[in-house]
Amino acid sequence: MKRYKYSINNLDCAHCAKKIEDELSKDNRLKNVIVNFSTLKLSFDAESDISLKELNSVISKIDSKVSVSDNSNKNKNKEYHFVILLIGFLFGVLGVFLNNNILSEIFILFSYLILLYKPFMNAVSMIIKNKTINENLLIVISCVGAYIIGENFEGIMVVSLYLLGKILEEKAINNTRGSVEDLIDLKEKFAYKKVGDKVVKTEVESLIENDIIIVKKGSRIPVDGVIKNGESLIDYSMLTGESELIKVRVKDEILSGTINKGEVIEVIVTKKYEDSTVSRILSLIEDATDKKANIETTVSKLSKVYTPLILLLAILVCVLLPIISNVNYEESFYRALTFLVISCPCAIAISVPLSYFTGIGVSSKNGILIKGSNYLDNLSKTNKIIFDKTGTLTNGSFNISNIEIIDDKYSLEMLTELLIKGEMNSNHPIADAIINLGNNDIDNSDVKNYKEISGGGISYSVNDYKIKVGNSKICNCDYNASLHVNINGHHVASITLDDGIKKESVDVINELKDINIRTYMFTGDKKKNALELSKKLSLDEVEYEMLPTDKYARYEEVKKNGDVVIFVGDGINDAPTLKRADIGISMGNIGTEAAIEASDIVIVNDDLKKIPLMIRISKYTNKIIKENLIFAIGVKLSILLLSVLGSISMWFAVFADTGVTLITILNTLRIMYKFKK
C-alpha cells in the first residue's frame, strides 16, 4: 500500500471538499481518502499507481472545475473574477436606472446572465452529478425570484455582493494559507555540491549520503549533515523557536531547515532529503490537519443536511405565512427568498479547519510539531500529565554535585586526577561526569590492573595507589552518598551525583499546576533517587523501578473516565505508553526514532517550556473556534428570524452569508498574531 499526495486546483469551499472526499472514498481502490481544504491537498492509499488523468476523470464527475496536479498551487482558484463581477453589476445598474423599458430589460437580463452564470453552473453540476444542493442554488433561486416579483435592483445587489464576498473570502483564505506556509517554509530548493574542484548547483532531492556541499552565509542548510570544514553560527529558530545562534565546528552535526549565519562551511551529507529533519517536519505539518478533531468532523456531518433543511424551511415559510398571518403570497415569497440567501454554511464550514490549521502552523513556528488537529484540540482539555524522568525532566547525563574528602592526605586536585585516570577506561555514564572534572590532556598510561566489578564499580592501580571507585560495599564504608573512593584499603572520599535536572523543569511543573494539571513521574530509577527528584520538582505523584510494561499498566490506572492524559518521554521503553496516551509528546533532539514515531507531538529542541505554550495555543485556538461558531450561528439565526418576520431585506441576508464568513476568517488570524515570534 502506497500513500499518494496531490495538490488540488480550483477548490473553493470546505463543504465541497467534504463532498469530494466522500465520493472518492466510495472507490474501492482508494483507502484513507482525505481532501484537506486548509492545505489544498488530496491524499489516499492505494495498492497500485493511479494516473493523474484517471484521477482527474473521477474528480470531474464530482465537480467539473476541480482538478489535481503534482505541483503546489497558490491562489489558483478561478471561480470568481472581479472584472466579470464589475461588468455584470454595471449592466444591472444601467438597466435599473434607464427610462427605456426595452433597453432596461435587456441590460437587466444581461446582468443576471453574467452574474448568475457561475453560481447556476455550479448548482446544476452538483444536482446532476452528486444529487445534492449547495448555496449556489439558493442564490440562483433568490435572484430569479427577485426578478419575478420586480425587485430587480435588490436581486442584482444580492448576487453582486455574494460574488464580491466570495472573491474577498477566497483572498482571505489564501492569505491565511500563505501566511501559515511562510511560517513553515523550511525547504531549500537547491544545494551547491562539490564535484572535484568544481561547485555545481543541484536539486536538493538529488543529494545522497557522503556528498559534500557548500553552504554560504545566509543560506538554509538543505539536508542533515556533519561539518567537514569551517566554523560558523547556525540559526535554529525555524526548527526550535529559539533565536540564540549555535556555534558549530568540524564534526558537529547540523540539521536541515536551519540557517548559516556565519562563514562558508563544507558539509558532508548524512541523510537524503526525504529522510532529513526538514522533510520529516514538513510531512508532519502537511498531514497534521488530515486528522480531524471531533468538532471539525461534527461540523462536516451537519453541513450535509444543513442546506436541504434550509430549502425545506424556506418553502414552508412561503406556503404557511399567508395561512397563519395577514401576509400575502408575494410578500411571503420575498421573505422565503431572503431566508435562502442567509442559509450558506461557509462561515461554519471554513472557520473550524482554518483555525486548527493556523494553530498547528503557529505551533510549528515555535518548535512544536503537532501531528493532527485532534491532538491540538485535546491539549486544551488536559488535566493530567505523566513525565518520564531521564532525558525528559533531566538531561540524561550525570553531574557531580559534591566531593567530600574524608582523608586530608589527599587534596581535591590529586584525588580528581587519580579518579580521571581510572575512569578514562570506562564507558559508564558516571565515568563521563568524572572525566569532565578535568582536562583532556591527562596521561593515564600508568593505570594498571583495571577491572570492572559487576554492579559495584571499578578497581585499578596507579603507581603505589590501589584504588576502588563504586558503591559502599566495595569501598568498605557506610556513608550516604552516590559513589565512594577507597585507596589502599581506606575510605578517602564520597561523591554525590545527580542526573542533571533540566533548569526549566521546576518552572514548567509549577506552571502546569497553576492551570490545574496534576503531575506524575514514571521512572525505572531506584526509589531513593526518584523520591529525591520528585521532592525537588514538587511533583504530585511518582512511580519508580518501573519496566516499560509497568509504565503502560500504570498509565491505565492514572487515566479515568473523562480524563485527558499526556505522556512525555524520549526512549524506546516509552514508545508503548506514548502510543497509548491520549496525547504522547516526545523529544525531537534526544528522543529515539521509536519514541518520535509513536508520539503525537514532537518538541524539536527538547525544551519543556513548550508544553505550557502548546496548551496555551490549544486553549486560544478553541476559544477562537467557539467565538466563530457562536457569532456565525447567532447572526444567522437572528437574521433568519427577522427575515421571516419581514423586518429585513436581502441586503442583510448577504451580510449573514459572506460578511459573517469574512469576519470569522479575520478573527482566525488572531491566533497567528497572538503567538507570533
Q: In Å, what is the CA distance from 58 to each residue of 11, 18, 27, 125?
A: 15, 15, 9, 14
Cα-Cα-Cα-Cα dihedral of 169, 364, 667, 350, to 10°?
A: 40
Q: How far apart are alpha carbons 278 and 295 in whole angstroms?
A: 30
Containing H/E element for 112?
A: helix 101-130
Amino acid at 348: I
User: Any catalytic annotation for residue 63?
Assistant: no
Residue showing cell 565515568 = 431
Please, are residues 373 and 351 in contact by the beta-carbon 8 Å criterion?
A: no
Half-sphere exposure of 521 (CA within 13 A, CB side): 28
Half-sphere exposure of 116 (CA within 13 A, CB side): 24
Distance of CA 605 to the CA centre of its chain: 15
Strand pairing of 41-46 and 31-36? antiparallel
Q: What is the full DSSP assignment across 139-186?
A: HHHHHHHHHHTT-HHHHHHHHHHHHHHHHHHHHHHHHHHHHHHHHT--
CB of 7 closer than 8 Å to CB of 69: yes
Q: What is the 3-state secondary structure (H, E, C) of 453-514?
A: ECCCEEEEEECCEEEEEECHHHHCCCCCCCEEEEECCEEEEEEEEECCECCCHHHHHHHHHH
SS3 at position 343: coil
Output DSSP code: residue 392: I
- CA–CA dist 399, 498 (Å, integer): 5
- Give yes or no for a contact between 193 and 202, defined as CB atoms under 8 angstroms apart: yes
Q: Smallest Cα–Cα separation from 146: which of 646, 650, 656?
A: 650
Rounded Cα–Cα distance for residues 386 and 396 (Å): 17
Rg (Cα) of the chain, in Å, rounded?
Answer: 33
Dig out the grid coordinates for 527 from the structure: 526509589
Amino acid (1-letter code) at residue 46:
A
CA-to-CA distance for 647 and 331, rounded, in angstroms?
A: 12
Give the cell for residue 553: 499498566
Residue 488's contacts (CB-CB under 8 Å, 6 or more residues apart) are: 464, 465, 466
193/204 Cα distance (integer angstroms): 9
Which of 287, 377, 388, 582 is an active site residue?
A: 388
Q: Is 562 helix (H, G, I), strand (E, B) or coil?
A: coil
Distances (CA, A) of 191 to 201, 204, 257, 371: 6, 6, 13, 28
The three-point CA angle 34-36-37 to 5° equals: 145
Active-site positions read 388
